[in-house]
């Protein structure tokens, strides 16, 4: 499968256009002044991220050449490297930063990807452990224990979910209890000074347990109704994700109400605490976690909880990794209207990013671009701007959805495409054969899921 290397500006109400970019294209500040860096000389991912940012800073620091006593820079527009953090977080819908993928934006994507990956490394899946389905470490030690001591964030709260689903015949009842899903963190003083604002971060892991997988397959749309004064029944989201976000479970050792209540209370507290500073709210998640991040972003904006007590609106940005669709077109339009910025990092070979709505999605709601079809309210729609990766391993098909594979792909994207030798061309032909076989398998799987979606739509329409 191939990604279209283009960036389109999507106006509200134009559901069928998606901004997409193949992230392995050469990185450049502009067509005339490329800024590249080599990953071969760095020893870890953090150095790679720092190298990208440093390269841009050094480029900015070089005095412009002068001609006749005048700075030539005064005659040309500033390069995109001079962008602000607001632009990197989508203030201008990432115009000029996605094609080609800007080094600062790529570094920011990788940084938040690593903060999400910390959730997986810290999650305890040993049934014999006292911390089974919880975090292995205390809040103060968690980031350090997973190798991210220098991340510059302090964890303030752990988040738990309790999916309102049960396995058939009462099997696996332990899977129905609450479990740790992620954390809330706030930038330290030093990190806030470096970033230029106090960043409030919420990080979510993806699907791991049985009941979470069941929640993923509850693909019927349900009204969100987050604002009791304005329920907006036409704004609908996937019922499984909504269940994870809103279900209560007070029986757990660490549980304090629904995931939603935990998050709204903690974020409101942090906003009030840092009201005299510049603040940003960043929500990041992988797979199912990206769906929760998007629901939270919409919820905060719908309730107006991103209003700064001293005036102004706190920007909300969602970094989604391998995320599925979450809601219908009305949900997408409302997110756009509220100013929730979403950057979706997807692998074009990842079937999860095509779900739900394999058949009934943005492209299936109107006929001939004019006539709205009866099932349009049941059609899913992606939200935000898309950065498309393209990778797979025939021997390890699961890697197409693996978060670490996403991060590694962002880090190792080559800046050059060397001329292929005869042996290299033969290897590419063999690789192409593997790609076709994998694509064929995915295609068969998608048609099966399309049949399931068709059945659900017929049920929704009382057919």
Active site residue 416: no
Specify the pairing of strand 371-372 against strand 198-204: unpaired
Closest CA to 380 of 187, 159, 219: 219
**Distances in whole angstroms, Cα of residue 116 to Cα of each of 90, 110, 339:** 19, 10, 23
Phi first, then psi: what are they for 204, rounded to 5°?
Answer: -120, 135
**Distance between terminal CA atoms of the chain?**
35
Active-site hit among 93, 199, 336, 350: 350
Active site residue 350: yes
Taken in order 224, 12, 10, 98, is the CA torsion positive or negative?
A: negative
Residue 15's Cβ-side half-sphere holds a number of Cα atoms within 13 Å equal to: 26
Number of Cβ within 10 Å of residue 16's Cβ equals: 14
217 alpha carbon, distance to own chain's centre: 20
Does a cis peptide bond (omega within 30 degrees of 0) precede residue 100?
A: yes
Active-site hit among 274, 286, 382, 401: 401
297 alpha carbon, distance to own chain's centre: 12
Active site residue 287: yes
Active-site hit among 287, 290, 291, 320: 287
Sort residue 386 into left (φ over 0), alpha (ψ -120 to 50) or beta: beta
134 alpha carbon, distance to own chain's centre: 23
Catalytic residue numbers?
287, 350, 401
């Amino acid at each position: 499968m191939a990604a279209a290397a283009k960036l389109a500006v999507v106006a509200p109400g134009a559901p069928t256009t998606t901004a997409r970019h193949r992230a392995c294209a050469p990185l450049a500040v502009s067509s005339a002044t490329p800024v590249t860096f080599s990953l071969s000389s760095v020893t870890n991912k953090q150095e790679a991220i720092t190298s990208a940012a440093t390269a841009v800073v050094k480029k900015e620091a070089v005095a412009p050449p002068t001609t006749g006593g005048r700075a030539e820079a005064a005659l040309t527009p500033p390069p995109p490297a001079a962008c602000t953090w607001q632009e990197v977080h989508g203030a201008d819908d990432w115009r000029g930063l996605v094609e080609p993928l800007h080094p600062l934006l790529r570094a920011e994507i990788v940084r938040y990807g690593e903060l999400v990956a910390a959730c997986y490394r810290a999650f305890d899946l040993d049934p014999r452990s006292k911390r089974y389905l919880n975090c292995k470490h205390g809040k103060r030690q968690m980031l350090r224990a997973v190798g991210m001591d220098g991340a510059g964030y302090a964890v303030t709260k752990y988040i738990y979910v309790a999916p309102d689903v049960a396995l058939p015949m009462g099997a696996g009842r332990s899977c129905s209890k609450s479990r740790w899903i992620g954390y809330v963190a706030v930038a330290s003083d030093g990190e806030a000074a470096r970033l230029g604002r106090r960043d409030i971060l919420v990080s979510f892991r993806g699907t791991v347990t049985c009941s979470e997988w069941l929640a993923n397959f509850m693909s019927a749309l349900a009204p969100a109704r987050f604002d009791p004064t304005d329920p907006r029944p036409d704004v609908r989201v996937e019922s499984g994700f909504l269940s994870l976000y809103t279900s209560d479970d007070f029986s757990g050792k660490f549980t304090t109400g629904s995931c939603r209540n935990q998050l709204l209370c903690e974020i409101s507290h942090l906003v009030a605490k840092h009201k005299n500073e510049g603040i940003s709210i960043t929500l990041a998640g992988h797979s199912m976690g990206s769906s929760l991040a998007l629901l939270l972003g919409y919820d905060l904006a719908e309730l107006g909880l991103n209003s700064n007590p001293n005036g102004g609106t706190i920007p909300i940005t969602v970094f989604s990794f391998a995320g599925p669709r979450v809601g219908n077109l009305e949900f997408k339009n409302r997110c756009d209207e509220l100013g929730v910025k979403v950057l979706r990092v997807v692998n074009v070979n990842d079937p999860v990013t095509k779900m739900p709505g394999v058949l009934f999605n943005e492209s299936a709601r109107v006929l001939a671009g004019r006539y709205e079809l009866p099932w349009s309210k049941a059609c899913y729609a992606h939200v935000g701007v898309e950065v498309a990766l393209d990778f797979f391993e025939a021997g390890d098909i699961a890697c197409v959805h693996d978060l670490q594979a996403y991060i590694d792909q962002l880090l190792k994207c080559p800046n050059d495409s060397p001329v292929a030798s005869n042996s290299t061309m033969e290897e590419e032909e063999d690789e192409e054969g593997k790609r076709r076989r994998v694509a064929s398998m995915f295609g068969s799987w998608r048609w099966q899921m399309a049949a399931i979606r068709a059945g659900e739509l017929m049920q929704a329409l009382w057919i």
